[in-house]
A and B are shown apart, each in its own frame.
Chain A
Amino acid sequence: MDIFLQQIVNGLVLGSIYALVALGYTMVYGILGLINFAHGDIVMIGALVALSVAQALAGSVLPGPAVLLVAALTATLVCVTLGVTIERAAYRPLRRAPRLAPLITAIGVSILLQYSAALVWGKQYLSMPELVKPGTVALGGAQFTELQAFIFVLACAVMAGLLWFIKASRLGRAMRATAQNAEIAGLMGVNIDRVIAFTFLLGSAVGAIAGVMIVLYYGIGHYFMGFMLGLKAFTAAVLGGIGNVAGAMLGGLLLGVIESLASGYIGDLTGGVLGSNYRDIFAFLVLILVLVFRPTGILGQHTGDRA
């Protein structure tokens, strides 16, 4: 039983990272109807920037948590700039183009980011210096580190803050209005360009936080790390109902738990035919099942021609 509990804890930590990344996909989709395939790579850039800053400052007089804060802020700044620039340069000119054009552009931007990162950081795996030595906490048979707890709590806080922001703030209302009907919202005095740019800013900032969490948690960074992460987060967004912010969070956590349980028990269930190296199958099996049986996802409403 404690093993089962441990797998759930593992899944929730993994899932909260997926959820943060999924938010970036779902917000952009909600407003533009665009699947921003470059989002996973923005997260990658955030992770590698944080890693480089941490490496540069690790031996200095600054204490570990301060270095972490500087690294996180730098990563957020770079990602936000990058996200807004990509929107301005690559997606805005194509806003009225056929739907396929921005989608393919997004894939192009993704590849551009990956190989630019390969040029800057090289193709080898990079290691994150250990900034803080987390202690471990035991809870009812499951064991987790303070870092895992921190990741989960921070992710929940970010998600709650984002929900509140979209629900209650003026800009959040503008975002919802734009999502419903951009043209009418524009006629009502909403500055569409600004709202869309802000959506990218918000998604990139949350993505940067996810990137920092990943390098902190796994201690490793790589120019290609955003690819699979992006696909998983996209799956999470679809699972929760793409375009729905709360759905992305739910989908992320759920996908994390499904993956964790699947890779923990697949070997026993299939009698050793399939091993845990096949765990990605489950993520994408979920994607296919959702698309076939409930294309709108768990929390998604029917979005007409958008889905």
Chain B
Amino acid sequence: MNPRPFRSIALVLAAALAASCARDDSAVKIGSASPLTGSQAHIGIDIRNGVQLAIEDLNAVGTEIGGRKVTFRLIAEDDEANPTKATTVAQKLADAKVVAVVGHFNSGASIPASRIYSDAGIPQISPSSTNPKYTQQGFKTTFRVVAHDDQQGPTLGRFAIEKLKAKSIAVVDDSTAYGQGLADAFSATVKARGARIVAREHTTDKDTDFMAILTKIKGRRPDLVMFGGIDPQAGPMVKQLAELGIQARFIGGDGMQTPNFIKLAGAAAEGVMASIPGLPKEQMPGGNAFMAKYRAKFKAEVELFAPMGYDAVMVFVDAMKRAGSTEPAKFLPELGKTRYQGVIGPIAFDEKGDLKDGPITIYVVKGGKWEPLETVIPGAEKPTRPPMKKST
């Protein structure tokens, strides 16, 4: 057999390959994965727009990494908010040799996809997935720029001690993974800070009669009642608290920070406090500038997570700059050491890749509406007090 034709074909192929590489020589590919179709498309497109904005900003100013000018290119994929599709998309991005991925939106998509990114050695930052499990799988490549569900409890606890000056606290949960986790984390924090847990009660996520527990709590005279659970229980509980003449204040997590809670609790809802992870977007350090830029570019308002998507790209590039390389293996170790001042606030990661001190906003019911009361940056020296909207 004559080897010559084979050799020439190989030569041509190699040349073509070299040519294609030359064309994209400096373009570094960054992936974005979120639902771009379906019922959650508005949120997914919002994330993609944030990523796109970041890449355009980077290319406009001209970014140097390791003494070399670099341009970035966006590869946006649609995971349809579907865990199965998410893994397909993840593989596609890995095959496209992206150096980093911003995504996914849903925890249910981020978790299965994270294994594929981990195997490919591609760092991933989720702008929005809050399930604690996402970063607990032992992968070195998973990060997020949003506070997760287990960070709320300690923040609430700190708020209760520092701001509400609570000394004796009654804690109730609804016996679910979410409610009990939140209540336990809260209890541990307030105990460590010197408050007394005067009652630790449990109910279920189906009950609506809390008179017996609340009566017991009344006897212990707490100055604060904390509830880990969701609004169908929180509503009647607050109402029954008022009926029993308990003067204590009431605080809970994002499960009860809903308009429905106010409907269920009626007049008793007034003054109740609850937290949600993240800042209201008007109150992000770079929020207003970002929203103006976003509006000018996309002729639309920021939905939710575009600022997180934007910051995720910036955090990647920040790590690349410090590592002096766009190779994932080189800049991944730097990613963990991130100290970045983003649109959403300061960004740093703990050893698992969770956002350190992710901001959590505490809301209060005022005039039958949830109003932001203050934002707590866990671990920060002093909570920042955002400008309150005037309400009549």
Chain A residues with CB under 8 Å of chain B are: 2-3, 6-7, 10-11, 13-14, 124-125, 127, 129-130, 133-134, 136, 143-145, 147-148, 218-220, 222, 224-225, 228, 259-265, 267, 272, 275-277, 279
Hey, which chain B residues are within 8 Å of A129, CB to CB? 266
Q: Would A220 and B206 count as touching, CB distance under 8 A?
A: no
Q: Would A264 and B213 count as touching, CB distance under 8 A?
A: yes
Residue in A closest to B263 when the chains form the complex, CB atoms: A127
Min CB distance A19 to B, Å, is 15
Residue in A closest to B207 when the chains form the complex, CB atoms: A277
Residue in A closest to B219 when the chains form the complex, CB atoms: A3
Q: Would B219 and A136 count as touching, CB distance under 8 A?
A: no
Interchain residue pairs A-B with the least CB separation, the first 6? A275-B202, A277-B202, A3-B219, A263-B212, A10-B211, A125-B232
Chain B residues with CB under 8 Å of chain A are: 175, 199-204, 206-209, 211-213, 215-216, 218-219, 231-232, 235-236, 239, 243-245, 260, 263-264, 266-267
Q: Would B175 and A272 count as touching, CB distance under 8 A?
A: no
Q: How far is the CA of A167 from the CA of B318 in the complex (A)?
A: 86
Residue in A closest to B240 when the chains form the complex, CB atoms: A218
Given A125-B260, A276-B203, also A219-B212 (CB < 8 A)? no
Contact partner, B236, options A145, A218, A224, A272, Cβ 8 Å: A218
Min CB distance B27 to A, Å, is 49
Contact partner, B202, options A145, A228, A276, Cβ 8 Å: A276
Q: How far is the CA of A13 from the CA of B200 in the complex (A)?
A: 24
Contact partner, B218, options A3, A14, A127, A225, Cβ 8 Å: A3
Contact partner, A10, options B202, B212, B231, Cβ 8 Å: B212
Q: How far is the CA of A263 from the CA of B172 in the complex (A)?
A: 13
Residue in A closest to B261 when the chains form the complex, CB atoms: A127
Q: Would B244 and A222 count as touching, CB distance under 8 A?
A: no
Hey, which chain A residues are within 8 Å of B175, CB to CB? 275, 277
Q: Would B245 and A143 count as touching, CB distance under 8 A?
A: yes
Q: Would B212 and A7 count as touching, CB distance under 8 A?
A: yes
Q: How far is the CA of A145 from the CA of B245 in the complex (A)?
A: 9
Apart from A264-B216, A275-B200, list 11 A-B contacts with CB within 8 A.
A125-B264, A129-B266, A147-B243, A219-B264, A220-B264, A228-B206, A260-B212, A260-B215, A264-B212, A272-B200, A276-B212
Contact partner, B212, options A143, A218, A259, Cβ 8 Å: A259
Hey, which chain B residues are within 8 Å of A279, CB to CB? 212
Q: Would B208 and A263 count as touching, CB distance under 8 A?
A: no
Hey, which chain B residues are within 8 Å of A2, CB to CB? 219
Q: Would A260 and B211 count as touching, CB distance under 8 A?
A: yes
Q: Would B215 and A10 count as touching, CB distance under 8 A?
A: yes
Contact partner, B239, options A125, A219, A265, Cβ 8 Å: A219
Hey, which chain B residues are within 8 Å of A272, CB to CB? 200
Q: How far is the CA of A267 from the CA of B218 in the complex (A)?
A: 15
Q: How far is the CA of A224 from the CA of B207 in the complex (A)?
A: 11
Q: How far is the CA of A272 from the CA of B201 in the complex (A)?
A: 9
Q: Would B218 and A277 count as touching, CB distance under 8 A?
A: no
Given A125-B260, A130-B267, A219-B264, also A3-B216 (CB < 8 A)? yes
Q: Would A127 and B260 count as touching, CB distance under 8 A?
A: yes
Q: Would B243 and A145 count as touching, CB distance under 8 A?
A: yes
Given A3-B216, A219-B266, A264-B215, also A277-B209 (CB < 8 A)? no
